[in-house]
Amino acid sequence: MRKNLRIIFRSIGVLALMIILFCYAMFQGGFVSWFLFYGFLPIGIYQLLFACYPLRTWQVYREIEQPVRQAGDEIVVKVHMKRRLPFPLLYCTFEEKFPQSLMKEDTKKAKYLTSQTSGKMTVTRRLIRMLFPLFRRNFTFSYVLQSLPRGEHTLEKVTIQTGEIFGFIKKSYDFKVQNTFVVYPYVHDIRLMSDMASYEQGGVISNQLQQTNTTVASGSREYAPGDRFTWIDWKQTARKQTMMTKEFDREKSTDILLIHDNYKHAKENQLLYEASIEMSLSLMEKLEKKDYETSFLSIGERGHLFELGHNQHQKSFMKNYLLTVKQEEKEAFSIRFREEMSHLNKVDSIFMVLTSMDPFLAEAILEIRQRIKHLAVIYIHPEKLLSGEEKHMLEPLRFSGVAVQALSLEQLATDPVEVNFR
């Protein structure tokens, strides 16, 4: 409303100036007075027409190339602007109004080297582009958003501002243009050195992929492309008059539960939390490649359990959860950890991704270790070396058979990240 009143008052001022110059030329006469009037006349008419020009009739829309990205990537946004009347405009400015979710940056592994001291990822993003429409009706330009942070981001509004040549009258309009794109957490390349695999009910330890045991046949089935010639069951083939192949026992994939601490702790910074999200997703991807039966549990005020196995729907639900999840600040993690463990069915192995340790949590881990075959903890910490207090809490876990690996932020910047669960 204020903008409209300002334009009206300034238009009245331009009109009044034209009338004054005309009256001056009529009463004064002479070359100079008429020169001033005719010299200002086209400028005044343009300013009055500009004041009436409807900026809101413009059409503005965006195109986002590849709206699904990974944290740290960049995205190209193409902006199209159309207008009906080819009214001459000397310039206009385009300003993108970025949401708060984009006021962070993620530089993949590099952030663990450049942001260690503060642990902050916050930045200020601002984009203002100067354009020169003149008589053009359509014009297009593009810009690049770099170092994208994890999350679902929605670009909702742009502001276009323009003015006449002397800047006496300026106009601006906010266009609601909604575009959404998603940025999934960065996935680290992990070298997993573990001791876990099981055969049927056993607890045999191995870091090999699950292999088929071809020593004992458990049955037969129809031949399928890719089956070995030596596996053909000639007796069953002759009996059923169709090509049959032997079916062998297969090593049972280990049941693994990956637990993520979703609480915000007193000394924890933003970078540590992002590291825990990335490591959780990276470990799930790695374990899936090794054909383990895995589940993911994020413990916050409410537990979020995803029983993945080889279910692609559950995996996509988990990735969407990690896409937008934020830290919670209520109960202690050790209390919720005990509650969630009491509700779960039998699990062979537990992996925990933690960014904070306290005596109550260490005690809870030791209690769970007594009824779990294999328990491993990845402890992510900001400094190069563990503090004396952290060592004091982690050492009893190691002595009790818990596989503990402390990973500093600097180690997360290496390629690949070595995770040792032995």
pLDDT tens for each residue of 73-124: 999 999 999 998 889 998 999 999 999 999 999 999 888 887 555 567 888 9
- In this predicted structure, what is the pLDDT of residue 205? 37
- Please tell me whether residues 117 and 233 are part of one structural domain: no
- Please tell me whether residues 269 and 410 are part of one structural domain: yes
In a domain, 201, yes or no: no
- Domain hosting 146: range is 55-184
- Please tell me whether residues 229 and 320 are part of one structural domain: no
What does the alpha-carbon distance between residue 379 and residue 368 come to, in Å, rounded to a whole number?
17
- Please tell me whether residues 125 and 170 are part of one structural domain: yes
Q: Which of 195, 227, 250 is the last residue of a domain?
A: 250
Q: Which of 229, 250, 271 is the last residue of a domain?
A: 250
Question: What whole-number percentage of the chain has pLDDT above 90?
Answer: 35
Report which of residues 9 and 379 the model is more confident about: 379
- Nearest of 305, 312, 308, 307 to residue 336 by alpha carbon: 305
The three-state (H, E, C) secondary structure of 171-215, written as one string: EEEEEEEEEEEEEECCCCCEEEECCCCCCCCCCCCCCCCCCEEEE
In a domain, 228, yes or no: yes
In a domain, 7, yes or no: yes
Pair 374, 404: CB distance under 8 Å: no
Report which of residues 113 and 249 the model is more confident about: 113
Distances, alpha carbon 212 to alpha carbons 185, 248, 279, 286, in Å: 34, 7, 30, 20
pLDDT at residue 200 tops 50 = no
What does the alpha-carbon distance between residue 232 and residue 382 come to, in Å, rounded to a whole number?
57
The model carries a pTM of 0.78
DSSP-derived letter for residue 149 is P
22-48 pLDDT tens trace: 888 888 878 888 888 888 888 888 888
In a domain, 304, yes or no: yes
- Please tell me whether residues 23 and 73 are part of one structural domain: no
Pair 299, 386: CB distance under 8 Å: no
- In this predicted structure, what is the pLDDT of residue 218? 59
Q: In sequence order, what are the residues at sequence separation of 6 or more whose Cβ sits closer than 8 angstroms to the Cβ of residue 24?
A: 33, 36, 37
- Please tell me whether residues 22 and 111 are part of one structural domain: no
- Please tell me whether residues 9 and 86 are part of one structural domain: no
- Please tell me whether residues 243 and 374 are part of one structural domain: no
- Nearest of 62, 79, 89, 54 to residue 173 by alpha carbon: 54
In a domain, 189, yes or no: no
146 SS3 class? coil
Region 203-210: mean pLDDT is 39
CATH number at residue 158: 2.60.40.10
In a domain, 346, yes or no: yes
Among all chains, which residue has been given the structure tokens 């949590």? 361
- In this predicted structure, what is the pLDDT of residue 261? 92
If one counts the domains in the chain, the total is: 4
Most confident segment among 8-17, 210-219, 231-240, 365-374:
365-374
Pair 336, 259: CB distance under 8 Å: no
- Please tell me whether residues 20 and 76 are part of one structural domain: no
Q: In sequence order, what are the residues at sequence separation of 6 or more whose Cβ sits closer than 8 angstroms to the Cβ of residue 320?
A: none
Alpha-carbon dihedral of residues 403, 408, 411, 417, nearest 10 degrees?
Answer: 40
- Please tell me whether residues 402 and 316 are part of one structural domain: yes
Q: Which has the minimum average pLDDT: 85-99, 124-138, 322-336? A: 322-336
Q: Which residues, in sequence order, are bridge partners of residue 127? A: 96
334 SS3 class? helix
Question: Tell me, what amino acid is at 249?
Answer: D
Strand ranges, E, within 54-168: 59-64, 68-70, 75-82, 92-97, 127-131, 138-145, 151-163
165 SS3 class? coil
Report which of residues 181 and 121 the model is more confident about: 181
Distances, alpha carbon 380 to alpha carbons 38, 109, 125, 303, 384, in Å: 76, 15, 29, 21, 10
- Please tell me whether residues 243 and 286 are part of one structural domain: no
In a domain, 203, yes or no: no
What does the alpha-carbon distance between residue 98 and residue 103 come to, in Å, rounded to a whole number?
8
| Burial class of residue 223 (count of CB atoms within 10 Å of its CB; 0-12, 13-18, 19+) | middle
What does the alpha-carbon distance between residue 269 and residue 118 come to, in Å, rounded to a whole number?
8
Q: Which has the minimum average pLDDT: 185-194, 212-221, 311-320, 375-384? A: 212-221
- Please tell me whether residues 136 and 222 are part of one structural domain: no
Counting Cα atoms < 13 Å in the Cβ hemisphere of 13 gives 9
In a domain, 208, yes or no: no
Query: Which tokens go with 45?
Result: 């008419």
Q: Which of 52, 79, 94 is the last residue of a domain?
A: 52
Q: Could you tell me if residue 49 is left (phi over 0), alpha (psi between -120 and 50 degrees) or otherwise beta?
A: alpha
| Alpha-carbon 18 to chain mean position | 57
What does the alpha-carbon distance between residue 46 and residue 49 come to, in Å, rounded to a whole number?
5
Pair 281, 323: CB distance under 8 Å: no
What does the alpha-carbon distance between residue 351 and residue 256 come to, in Å, rounded to a whole number?
7
139-177 pLDDT tens trace: 899 999 999 999 999 999 999 999 887 778 888 999 999
